[in-house]
């Protein structure tokens, strides 16, 4: 056989866009006649698998693609010529690989951009590679070559998880979760943080719904890096109000306030909230105290006095506020020398701080509440608190209208020296 075969009968072989040099030069380098009469041919080698190796030797690599290793060059290349480059039997950026690897994408809902396109050879070498999985470079470098923004910028904290590569969390090809994640949080995160999570939550009395709900961890934490400590996705209260911008229910059915509305409608914000530190009072994940508080704070309206009942407030405020019966410089809530905090709180049936103060935000000075609940009916009685230079007054349902006058202007120290949150107060 010679190129005349192509000219005379087998034109289709030479009419392709790309021709194999070997076929242009001589048909006989691959075909030999077995029966001239019947016009039958066999290959010059015993098997198809040996044929190409006669003239081509591919560089040896650690990882060889099985069809290449087994000499099945014809699975991807046409021995004569092709419309596609490199004599390929199909478009390498579209369907060449999926002819055998249809399961790589399968029915998954979220497909990685280059994979959806079919451009497998952007990441994989078709013959062999020194990298596992025939990758053209190591997997993380590969991802970062197209997604450089994922690497932690200088000054920000990176997530150690990235050291194990991007594919610990992402499927390089496709998955049923957004961003081709293997799993959604919390499952995704607990692959590595299970132990810590168990330690935090196993015996905790209160578990924050945010950590168990699907996607919850990611509402507060960035996956790759953050300029904030503990990989917080954004500043507080923002990350909290992302969910607490509507009334929420605890598992026992208690309605929780819409904190976004509460903060918006009450312009006088408590010091730590002005500082953006919800977690100076609340554990973000789980805890042993009522409402996830980091310290005890009695849930009751009246409670026998014990300092421990108000430990939360006294992580920042000075305990003498309620411990000392008389004295100046302890509180503004005094009548002359008489400490009215002591008077109200430090008793067998003491009023809790809650009886008078809002803890997040208020309209009145000193975070005094507008009204208190009365009896079990849920009736609200207005307190009508007023403050002035000399003292203050209220006319609650609890007793007849009362006024207190300090008689001097000695100001109290509001915060302990080691308070975790400072403030420059809104006290009028």
* Contact status: 372 vs ligand HEC (CB under 6 A): no
Residues 225-244 that bind ligand HEC (CB under 6 A): 230-232, 236-237, 239-240, 242-244
* Contact status: 218 vs ligand HEC (CB under 6 A): yes
Strand partners, 221: 232
Q: What is the β-pairing status of strands 18-19 and 81-82? A: antiparallel
State the SS3 of 58-89: CCCCCEECHHHHCCCHHHCECCCEECCHHHEC
- The residue assigned the tokens 């330690």 is 199
* Contact status: 386 vs ligand HEC (CB under 6 A): no
Which residues, at least 6 apart from 189, have a Cβ–Cβ distance to it below 8 Å?
A: 197, 217, 221
Least Cβ distance, residue 19 to ligand HEC (angstroms): 8
Query: Cis bond leading into 397, ω under 30°?
Result: no
CA distances from 280 to 51, 268, 284, 292, 359 (A): 74, 18, 10, 11, 13
- Quick one: which of 81, 175, 210, 289 contacts ligand HEC (CB under 6 A)? 210
Q: Which is nearer to ligand HEC, 108 or 119 (CB)?
A: 119
Q: What is the distance between the alpha carbons of residues 319 and 302, in angstroms, rounded to a whole number?
A: 19
Binding region for ligand HEC (CB under 6 A) out of 32-40, 369-377, 409-417:
409-417
Count residues near ligand HEC (CB under 6 A): 184
- Quick one: which of 81, 131, 221, 303 contacts ligand HEC (CB under 6 A)? 221
* Contact status: 161 vs ligand HEC (CB under 6 A): yes
Q: Which is nearer to ligand HEC, 196 or 379 (CB)?
A: 196
Residues 186-205 that bind ligand HEC (CB under 6 A): 186, 188-189, 191-193, 196-197
Nearest to 425 by CA among 394, 396, 387, 390: 387
* Contact status: 381 vs ligand HEC (CB under 6 A): no
Q: What is the distance between the alpha carbons of residues 203 and 130, in angstroms, rounded to a whole number?
A: 49
Q: Is the dihedral of CA 201, 202, 207, 212 positive or negative?
A: positive
Least Cβ distance, residue 37 to ligand HEC (angstroms): 17
Binding region for ligand HEC (CB under 6 A) out of 32-40, 215-223, 371-379:
215-223
Binding region for ligand HEC (CB under 6 A) out of 32-40, 121-129, 373-381:
121-129
Least Cβ distance, residue 335 to ligand HEC (angstroms): 10
* Contact status: 424 vs ligand HEC (CB under 6 A): yes
- Quick one: which of 81, 289, 303, 322 contacts ligand HEC (CB under 6 A)? 322
Strand partners, 88: 77
Q: Output the DSSP codes for 227-284.
A: SSGGGBSS-TTHHHHTTSSS-EE-TT--EE--HHHHHHH--EE-HHHHTT-GGGTB-S
CA distances from 124 to 131, 162, 237 (A): 10, 21, 45
* Contact status: 104 vs ligand HEC (CB under 6 A): yes
Residues 246-305 that bind ligand HEC (CB under 6 A): 248, 250-251, 256-257, 259, 270-273, 278-282, 284-285, 291-293, 297
Task: Locate all alpha helices (DSSP H) within 284-366, ordered by sequence.
Answer: 320-323, 340-345, 353-356
* Contact status: 361 vs ligand HEC (CB under 6 A): no
Q: Which is nearer to ligand HEC, 209 or 379 (CB)?
A: 209
Q: What is the distance between the alpha carbons of residues 80 and 11, in angstroms, rounded to a whole number?
A: 11
Q: Which is nearer to ligand HEC, 113 or 373 (CB)?
A: 113
- Quick one: which of 81, 131, 175, 208 contacts ligand HEC (CB under 6 A)? 208
* Contact status: 32 vs ligand HEC (CB under 6 A): no
Tokens of 337: 């020398």
Site string for ligand HEC, 50-89 (x = CB under 6 A): -xx-xxx-x----x-xxxx--xxxxxxx-xx-----xxx-
Q: What is the distance between the alpha carbons of residues 168 and 179, in angstroms, rounded to a whole number?
A: 13
* Contact status: 356 vs ligand HEC (CB under 6 A): yes
Least Cβ distance, residue 36 to ligand HEC (angstroms): 15
* Contact status: 405 vs ligand HEC (CB under 6 A): no
């Amino acid at each position: 056989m010679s190129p005349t075969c192509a000219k005379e009968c087998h034109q289709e072989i030479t009419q392709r866009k790309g021709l194999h040099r070997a076929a242009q030069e001589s048909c006989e380098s691959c075909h030999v006649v077995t029966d001239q009469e019947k016009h039958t041919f066999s290959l010059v080698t015993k098997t198809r698998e040996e044929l190409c190796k006669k003239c081509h030797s591919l560089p040896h690599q650690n990882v060889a693609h099985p069809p290449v290793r087994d000499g099945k060059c014809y699975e991807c290349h046409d021995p004569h010529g092709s419309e596609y480059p490199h004599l390929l039997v199909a478009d390498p950026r579209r369907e060449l690989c999926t002819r055998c690897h249809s399961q790589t994408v399968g029915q998954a809902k979220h497909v990685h951009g280059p994979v959806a396109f079919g451009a497998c050879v952007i990441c994989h070498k078709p013959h062999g590679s020194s990298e596992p999985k025939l990758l053209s470079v190591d997997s993380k470098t590969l991802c970062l070559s197209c997604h450089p923004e994922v690497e932690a910028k200088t000054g920000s904290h990176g997530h150690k998880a990235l050291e194990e590569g991007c594919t610990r969390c992402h499927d390089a090809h496709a998955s049923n979760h957004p961003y081709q994640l293997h799993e959604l949080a919390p499952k995704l995160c607990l692959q590595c943080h299970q132990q810590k999570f168990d330690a935090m939550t196993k015996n905790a009395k209160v578990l924050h719904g945010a950590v168990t709900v699907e996607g919850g961890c990611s509402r507060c934490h960035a996956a790759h890096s953050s300029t904030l400590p503990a990989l917080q996705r954004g500043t507080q209260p923002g990350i909290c109000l992302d969910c607490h911008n509507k009334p929420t229910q605890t598992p026992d059915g208690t309605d929780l306030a819409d904190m976004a509305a509460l903060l918006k409608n009450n312009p006088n914000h408590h010091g730590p909230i002005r500082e953006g530190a919800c977690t100076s009072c609340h554990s973000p994940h789980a805890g042993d105290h009522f409402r996830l508080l980091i310290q005890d704070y009695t849930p009751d309206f009246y409670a026998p006095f014990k300092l421990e009942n108000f430990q939360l407030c006294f992580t920042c405020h000075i305990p003498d506020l309620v411990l000392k019966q008389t004295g100046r410089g302890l509180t503004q809530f005094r009548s002359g020398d008489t400490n009215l905090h002591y008077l109200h709180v430090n008793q067998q049936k003491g009023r809790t701080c809650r009886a008078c103060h809002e803890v997040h935000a208020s309209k009145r000075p000193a975070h005094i509440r507008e009204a208190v609940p009365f009896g079990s009916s849920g009736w609200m009685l207005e307190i009508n608190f007023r403050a002035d230079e000399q003292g203050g007054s209220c006319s609650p349902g609890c007793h007849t209208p009362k006024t207190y006058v300090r008689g001097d202007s000695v100001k109290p120290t509001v915060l302990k020296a080691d308070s975790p949150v400072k403030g420059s107060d809104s006290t009028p």
